[in-house]
Amino acid sequence: MIDTLGLMITEMKRMIDDRQSNPERIAQVGIFGGCFVGCAFTTAVFILLGCWAIKVLWKAAFG
């Protein structure tokens, strides 16, 4: 997952216009990076909750 995040950040840096000032570039990378990290965290939480729900339902159905 860290490799994928690193690749996404590298691609974002390429998309950012070189004519931007350094603070603008830092802000843009920070916003995009924060969105990707937040999305990855949210996905992990949903996966864990889904696994827990399946476990509970399985236990209720098959005892």
pLDDT at 1 over 60: no
Better-scored residue on pLDDT, 9 or 43: 43
Average pLDDT for 33-59:
92
Q: Which two structure tokens, joined as six digits, stand for 4?
A: 């994928």
The structural domain count of the chain equals: 1
Residue 9 belongs to what domain range?
2-62
Buried/exposed code over 24-36 (b: 16+ C-beta within 10 A; e: otherwise): eeeebeeebeeee
Q: Compute the chain's Rg from CA coordinates.
A: 19
Encoded tokens for 53: 């729900």
Rounded CA separation 31/29 (Å): 5
Confidence at residue 20, expressed as pLDDT on a 0 to 100 scale: 62
Please compute the mean of the pLDDT values over residues 26-38 and round it to a whole number. Answer: 81
Model pLDDT, residue 52:
96
Is the model more confident about 36 or about 22? 36
